[in-house]
Amino acid sequence: MNSAAGRAPTSADVARLARVSRSTVSLVVNDVPTARIPEATRERVLAAVRELGYAPDVSARRLRAGTSRLVLMPLPQIPLNPSIDTVIEHLSEKLRQSGLTLLVHGDRTTTGTSAARAWAELRPAAVLVPADRCTKSSVALLRRAGIEVLMISERPVPWTDALVFDQGRVGAEAAEHLLDVGHRHIAAIVPSGPLQGLGRDRAEGLRDTVHAAGARSEEIPMDATHDSAAAAAAAVRRPGGPTAVFTYNDEYGALLHRALDDMGAAMPDDVALVGADNLPIATFLRPALSSIALNPVEIADRMGAAISSLLERAGHTEPIEAGVLAPPVLMRRETS
Amino acid sequence: MNSAAGRAPTSADVARLARVSRSTVSLVVNDVPTARIPEATRERVLAAVRELGYAPDVSARRLRAGTSRLVLMPLPQIPLNPSIDTVIEHLSEKLRQSGLTLLVHGDRTTTGTSAARAWAELRPAAVLVPADRCTKSSVALLRRAGIEVLMISERPVPWTDALVFDQGRVGAEAAEHLLDVGHRHIAAIVPSGPLQGLGRDRAEGLRDTVHAAGARSEEIPMDATHDSAAAAAAAVRRPGGPTAVFTYNDEYGALLHRALDDMGAAMPDDVALVGADNLPIATFLRPALSSIALNPVEIADRMGAAISSLLERAGHTEPIEAGVLAPPVLMRRETS
DNA sequence: CTGTTAGCGCGTTCAA
DNA sequence: TTGAACGCGCTAACAG
């Protein structure tokens, strides 16, 4: 295992080997249409590129061009789930088709200006940042540095371009379904801890929809432990309790599912359950948990499109029509 | 939403505002110990930095220094799970403490030389690459470019530094436990599709351990569907079938769990079950699924240490003592 | 002691 | 097809 060799091959190395100038190497490598290079020369250059394993240095390229083809995505502070995984996978592919490279920043904890500085150092063309990772001034810092910012937010943001993913729609979708099948008293689980904000958004969407239908709603706090789930199950099963529960997501749903089962409650006959995020676990429970799915492929498509239009508007000032992320859809299974 | 302002503030902008030279800015920003700058000047420079939101351009810095502080991690082709998520989180933090930045490359599909080229373009100091994403020649390309390569592999790799995560240990750990509690005929589930390689490694570790104890083993193919799980459950429950099953991971375990339950098999009395990866789902099943856990925090620590020593050996030729990733541990629950 | 000038590293582009 | 200049931050050599 030798240590890595000192220095990457440069365009000068390629030029030397192909016995042309660095300019010619650049023209061939970038396939510049205006410069007509004889086929023989082009071949010589490409052969040299292959032989040396030459890959142009993005740093140097960016420095010269003043702009990069990198899109930086800091991770949200909440844990990754299969949906986010799918979003990353498809977004990366979509951006690649536009000649952009998606990089995910490993740091998960920094927020605000210090985070913005860490992102700005890389001079990406655009940053796709979850709302929980930035503030107004950190966005300002990025934009002053010529970096486009696209926020992923639960609600509209007046001070920057944002893709709005209304988490309330998730709860609302669950509510519509549960109302449809006849429930008139519906509870929403609200997790504690870092997920609370998200949980509250979903619960509020449910509440509004339930009230609009003239039915009754309530919120039940719970955290991700069996004990807390047992307490929540007891609250659900109290006399006069709700006949249906939206469980925030499928993991909380699984916990509550088990706690209700332990109490001898039948699903969906005694209590109906609807989770969210369409995690694999939902299909493994018995009875299988209905879930509000997030449609990650569609979400990735919209993100990719938004970033592309952001980067193409170049100097224009119209806000991009970022709009709302793909609406969630019900995966009806056995618990509802 | 105005378009991003044209150009990031440079050290020249800071110098102008602070009325010093660019050199002075550099000395202050990098806290160079040999150059004594009067407190007043230093303050002026830092004030200008703050006012402009100046962040040094890593491209320019890298170009000058010839080396970057970036560590690039291409994602494995298998889907992310909570363990990998935890590894990324902790590795990022560990590297940050050494002044390194972890970037995760969004592209998940490219392999071999074209992947290596995409990574080489970024000129990271090191690449942390899963074995399924690279070949001997792609590693050679990276190393010729002065990029350190650390492979994450299931088995020792003679041609590069590698952290060996012996997946066989996962199966072996399951086998030891099941033998301990008295089983003499143990099956291993082997998934089909992209997970097959991993599954086979785990199954072989189990087989070797079981045979060494003079007991009997078998492999049962299965894919991630309820139908296939039902078929696997039938195979398990056939007359003379195994009394214990290692399920490859907890998701396959959950599927088999359900299928066995549907057949009326009691766990662990009729059949014992042990999964792997310690996914949340394991604790949500009833009876809760025992699982072989991967210890992601420890894994991240070892990865971080390996990368640091790789980058410090600078020019030396001794192989780093990368060694084996943290051994898996049994999380005993109710199914075994 | 404090700060500046000059030139480098690499790919791109315009004028020749 | 090429020479030359450029973009930005770093640092060695040097000046006030």
Report the percentage of chain A scoring pLDDT > 70: 95
The whole-angstrom separation of Cα B145 and Cα B135 is: 16
Under the banding of pLDDT at 50, 70 and 90, the label for residue A319 is low
In a domain, B1, yes or no: no
Under the banding of pLDDT at 50, 70 and 90, the label for residue B323 is low
Tokens matching residue B280: 């949340």
B85, B28: one domain: no
A130, A222: one domain: no
Q: What is the pLDDT of residue B264?
A: 95
**pLDDT at residue B93 greater than cutoff 60:** yes
B318, B201: one domain: no
Report the percentage of chain B scoring pLDDT > 90: 59
In a domain, A63, yes or no: no
In a domain, A28, yes or no: yes
**pLDDT at residue B212 greater than cutoff 70:** yes
In a domain, B247, yes or no: yes
**pLDDT at residue B49 greater than cutoff 80:** yes
In a domain, A62, yes or no: no
A202, A122: one domain: no
Alpha helices per DSSP H over chain B: 11-18, 22-29, 39-52, 58-65, 82-97, 112-121, 136-144, 168-180, 196-212, 226-237, 250-262, 280-284, 296-312
Reported in sequence order, the residue ranges of chain A that DSSP labels E, i.e. its strands, are: 70-74, 101-105, 126-130, 148-153, 162-164, 185-191, 216-222, 244-246, 272-276, 290-293, 329-331
C-beta of residue A28 within 8 angstroms of C-beta of residue A37: yes
Listed ranges A29-43, A308-322, B250-264; the one with the highest mean pLDDT: B250-264
Residues A311, A316, A322, CA angle at the centre, nearest 5°? 55
B174, B283: one domain: yes
Q: What is the pLDDT of residue A322?
A: 54
Q: What is the mean pLDDT of chain A?
A: 90
> Are A96 and B80 a contacting pair at CB < 8 A?
no
A304, A287: one domain: no
**Residue written as token pair 């150092």:** A121
Q: Give the CATH number, domain containing residue A28.
A: 1.10.260.40
* Residues (8-67, chain A) with CB within 7 Å of strand D atoms: 19-24, 27, 35-38, 41-42, 60, 63-64, 66
A281, A313: one domain: no
Mean pLDDT over B32-43 rounds to: 81
Q: A272 to chain B, minimum CA–CA distance in Å? A: 18
* Domain ranges, residue B76: 68-166+298-326
Residue of higher predicted confidence among B4 and A92 = A92
Nucleotide nearest to A25 (CA to C1'): C11
Q: What is the pLDDT of residue A331?
A: 96
User: What is the per-residue pLDDT across B157-173, written as a single tens digit (0 to 9) for each?
Assistant: 888 889 988 899 999 99
Q: Give the CATH number, domain containing residue A231.
A: 3.40.50.2300
Among partner residues A107, A121, A261, which is closest to B96 by beta-carbon distance? A107
How far: B132 CA to D10 C1' (Å)? 39
Report the percentage of chain B scoring pLDDT > 70: 95
For residue A8, the SS3 value is coil
Among partner residues A59, A117, A262, which is closest to B123 by beta-carbon distance? A59
In a domain, B336, yes or no: no
In a domain, B231, yes or no: yes
Tokens matching residue A245: 């529960």
**pLDDT at residue B197 greater than cutoff 70:** yes
Q: Is A149 exposed, middle or buried (0-12, 13-18, 19+ CB in 10 A)?
A: buried
Nearest Cα residue in chain A from B9? A145
Which residues contact residue B277 at a Cβ distance below 8 angstroms, ignoring those fewer than 6 apart? B81, B83, B249, B250, B291, B292, B293, B294
Please state whether strand D lies within 7 Å of residue B58 at its CB atom. no
A51, A126: one domain: no
User: What is the per-residue pLDDT across B59-69, written as a single tens digit (0 to 9) for each?
Assistant: 998 888 888 99
Q: What is the pLDDT of residue B322?
A: 54
The tally of domains found in chain A comes to 3
In a domain, A333, yes or no: no
Among partner residues A107, A145, A148, which is closest to B8 by beta-carbon distance? A145
Under the banding of pLDDT at 50, 70 and 90, the label for residue B6 is low
Q: Report the phi/psi class of residue A176: left, alpha or beta, with left for phi > 0 and alpha for psi in -120 to 50.
A: alpha
User: What is the per-residue pLDDT across A194-216, written as a single tens digit (0 to 9) for each?
Assistant: 899 999 999 999 999 999 999 99
A86, A123: one domain: yes
B255, B155: one domain: no
Which residues contact residue B318 at a Cβ distance below 8 angstroms, ignoring those fewer than 6 apart? none
How far: B68 CA to D6 C1' (Å)? 23
Q: In the sheet that A244-246 helps form, which strands lie side by side, from edge to edge?
A: A216-222, A185-191, A244-246, A272-276, A290-293, A329-331
**pLDDT at residue B256 greater than cutoff 60:** yes
User: What is the per-residue pLDDT across A120-160, written as a single tens digit (0 to 9) for each?
Assistant: 999 999 999 998 899 999 999 999 888 999 999 888 888 88
**Residue nearest C3, CA–C1′ metric:** B24
A161, A309: one domain: yes
A285, A198: one domain: yes
